[in-house]
A and B are shown apart, each in its own frame.
Chain A
């Protein structure tokens, strides 16, 4: 049985009347990429910041590497690596100086040259932080998270705001961490990121865990193999009723209609006939397989990025 590096039971945190984290329980197994997926405001960042020691929970049990703790303190932090959602640096320091400063805070550290190589910043060793691009700064932030050769690495929305190439580079880096046997705690609101990187996913909404499983398990929960998607800003109530009568499951998100089906060869002709009969133009018609976004949509009626 794989050891649990993090266990959380009935975690709660409120800001006045707002319950940011409302009785959350989960565990992270050693060597897996664990993802907390949810829209903005779901409570992901509050949860991860409690585990990073940035915030104190109102109640709940936290067990990190077998040790129960009321709040996360220096002992736990010594074995953690953290990438904050938004890391700010002192701009007049060089890349190597930032790494040297932070390496002095831990009892055990890797050589900074190793870290620079790992995050592909060797050429920027002597550069000032203010001279780095957004992607390079994010890689430096990840470098800081790896400095102490941590057992658990927290990555809070690591690719938010990055261009596709920089995002792909970060994904590769996270993939290599998994290969090294590190436990990665990831939060994201990008379903493709969660799907690509995660071993196990907890989906969070409004402070609560609404479902969990491997990405495949979650998608299989939908019970549909295919989705036919088309754009149509508005359909009349009659037209919607007609669609619902002919298909097991439909939903609408931002003017795009999703028709879920097990057999696309049967469903597609039915949809086209309906469109012709109802005088509806199916714009941007697309066929695809369901993803985690669809799981969230089917459970909440909202999209991850709404």
Chain B
């Protein structure tokens, strides 16, 4: 333990004297959180999405006809809601379709000439025994464009509303008989969380992961390549004591980082996290230990710094992006889901988010502890057995 304390002190002193190291340790997570918050915090809010609709009304026969009602309805929604922007065309259908092709419109709605007359013809008193000819509005959309598809869907809802009004006015339906629905947003398990609250656990785990794989691997392997570690090996210190000292050091830095991110998130982005609970502290420490063990594994498996860096990249990105840090992965296609299921980050992120009071874990507590634990044991055993103090 004395030796491990000395190694801990050695790494701490060198880190405190390295501004670059301090930046990555303390400042970078805060910058990353700010960037992610600025970019993604409004996703899902109405203000963040705007559907641009081109409207061409070629039916000018009846100023108070259905075409005018559709046009007026769309313009009113456009004035009241920020997610819809309706462009009334003055240059005609062709100009709007060109704008659609150039991506300046999500959809173009064309009300054909004679549309209102057609609607009137279909009303019971006017129609008599004549066959009904449906009155149709043409909607042009963009393929493979989610917002375009959403705009088509939204316009369908608007038309449904208009159709319902026509049916009621024409005496086809009693409003009391029509089936409707109400919406109600329920906070998850009674907790409401901000985007900052959601991403903080992800930022922390990503930071532990990159630290564990890149910094530890780079540091350990760089010391080994430079011949620094040989001097340690001619003393009685064991690999385990050296790793333990390194682990203490990274545990401290990771916890400091967590506290900095926690307070920054709370003060600047009003994130609410239950950091000081036994479960949250357990998952923080557990995540640090598990992810550092991956660093030790690569340090033991790689022959030199270059090989270690390449291996770290190969391991980091799947673990980071297929571990549910930034988007859900357990409902992903089978291959990705299977990677996510064996990825310890998935369980650490689930456990940490749950423990911090952000979101209930999709996986059980047993799995959240067991799967990372199995990886931890494997990585530690492998690295303690195979780690070399000098380049062969």
Residues of A within 8 A of B (CB): 52-54, 74-75, 77-78, 80, 82, 84, 86-90, 92-93, 97, 100-102, 104-107, 144
* Residues in chain B near residue A88, CB distance under 8 A: 226-228, 230-231
> B7 touching A101 by the CB < 8 A rule?
yes
Q: A52-B234, A105-B3 are in contact. List 20 more A-B contacts (CB 8 A).
A: A54-B230, A74-B236, A77-B234, A82-B234, A82-B235, A86-B227, A87-B227, A88-B227, A89-B231, A90-B223, A92-B17, A93-B10, A97-B10, A101-B6, A101-B7, A101-B10, A102-B235, A104-B2, A104-B6, A144-B231
Closest to B17 in A: A92
> A104 touching B228 by the CB < 8 A rule?
no
Give the CA-CA distance A80 to B232 in the complex, in Å: 13
Closest to B225 in A: A88
> A87 touching B231 by the CB < 8 A rule?
yes
Give the CA-CA distance A236 to B223 in the complex, in Å: 55
* Residues in chain B near residue A52, CB distance under 8 A: 234
- Near A by CB (< 8 A), chain B positions 1-24 give 2-3, 5-7, 9-10, 13-14, 17-18
> B237 touching A105 by the CB < 8 A rule?
yes
Taking a contact as CB atoms closer than 8 A, the residue among B5, B13, B226, B238 that contacts A93 in the complex is B13
Give the CA-CA distance A78 to B5 in the complex, in Å: 18
> A77 touching B236 by the CB < 8 A rule?
yes
> A92 touching B230 by the CB < 8 A rule?
no
Q: How many residues of B contact A (CB 8 A)?
A: 26
* Residues in chain A near residue B228, CB distance under 8 A: 88-90
> B18 touching A92 by the CB < 8 A rule?
yes
Interface centre among A53, A74, A78, A101 (most CB of B within 10 A): A101
Residues of B within 8 A of A (CB): 2-3, 5-7, 9-10, 13-14, 17-18, 223, 226-228, 230-238, 389-390
> B226 touching A100 by the CB < 8 A rule?
no
- Chain A to chain B contacts (Cβ below 8 Å), 27 pairs: A53-B234, A54-B230, A74-B237, A74-B238, A75-B236, A77-B234, A78-B236, A86-B227, A87-B231, A88-B227, A88-B230, A88-B231, A89-B228, A89-B231, A92-B13, A93-B10, A93-B13, A100-B6, A101-B10, A102-B6, A102-B235, A104-B2, A104-B6, A105-B232, A105-B237, A106-B236, A144-B231
> B17 touching A101 by the CB < 8 A rule?
no
Interface centre among B10, B17, B235 (most CB of A within 10 A): B235
Closest to B227 in A: A88
CB distance from B120 to the nearest CB of A (A): 87
* A97-B390 contact in complex given A52-B234, A54-B230, A86-B227, C-beta closer than 8 Å: no
CB distance from A185 to the nearest CB of B (A): 13
> B236 touching A92 by the CB < 8 A rule?
no
Closest to B6 in A: A104
Give the CA-CA distance A88 to B226 in the complex, in Å: 7
Closest to B228 in A: A88
Interface centre among A52, A53, A92 (most CB of B within 10 A): A92
* Residues in chain B near residue A93, CB distance under 8 A: 10, 13-14
Give the CA-CA distance A92 to B231 in the complex, in Å: 16
Give the CA-CA distance A63 to B288 in the complex, in Å: 43
Taking a contact as CB atoms closer than 8 A, the residue among B9, B223, B226, B227 that contacts A101 in the complex is B9
Closest to A104 in B: B6
CB distance from A249 to the nearest CB of B (A): 43
> A104 touching B5 by the CB < 8 A rule?
yes
Interface centre among B3, B10, B13, B226 (most CB of A within 10 A): B10
> A54 touching B231 by the CB < 8 A rule?
no
Interface centre among B223, B231, B237 (most CB of A within 10 A): B231
* Residues in chain A near residue B13, CB distance under 8 A: 92-93, 97
* Residues in chain B near residue A75, CB distance under 8 A: 236
Give the CA-CA distance A84 to B231 in the complex, in Å: 7
CB distance from A65 to the nearest CB of B (A): 14
* Residues in chain B near residue A90, CB distance under 8 A: 10, 14, 223, 228
Give the CA-CA distance A82 to B6 in the complex, in Å: 19
Closest to B1 in A: A104
CB distance from B121 to the nearest CB of A (A): 88
Which are the 9 A-B pairs with shortest beta-carbon distances? A104-B6, A74-B236, A105-B235, A82-B234, A88-B227, A105-B237, A92-B14, A101-B6, A77-B236
* A54-B14 contact in complex given A88-B227, A89-B228, A90-B223, C-beta closer than 8 Å: no
Give the CA-CA distance A97 to B10 in the complex, in Å: 8
Give the CA-CA distance A74 to B17 in the complex, in Å: 32
> B233 touching A54 by the CB < 8 A rule?
yes
Give the CA-CA distance A97 to B6 in the complex, in Å: 9
* Residues in chain B near residue A102, CB distance under 8 A: 6, 231, 235
Give the CA-CA distance A82 to B2 in the complex, in Å: 21
Closest to A147 in B: B235
Give the CA-CA distance A144 to B234 in the complex, in Å: 11
CB distance from A165 to the nearest CB of B (A): 25
* Residues in chain A near residue B389, CB distance under 8 A: 54
Give the CA-CA distance A106 to B232 in the complex, in Å: 11
* A80-B234 contact in complex given A97-B13, A100-B6, A101-B6, C-beta closer than 8 Å: yes
CB distance from B224 to the nearest CB of A (A): 10
* Residues in chain A near residue B7, CB distance under 8 A: 101
Give the CA-CA distance A52 to B226 in the complex, in Å: 19
CB distance from A83 to the nearest CB of B (A): 9
CB distance from B283 to the nearest CB of A (A): 32
* Residues in chain A near residue B237, CB distance under 8 A: 74, 105
CB distance from A122 to the nearest CB of B (A): 21
* Residues in chain B near residue A53, CB distance under 8 A: 233-234
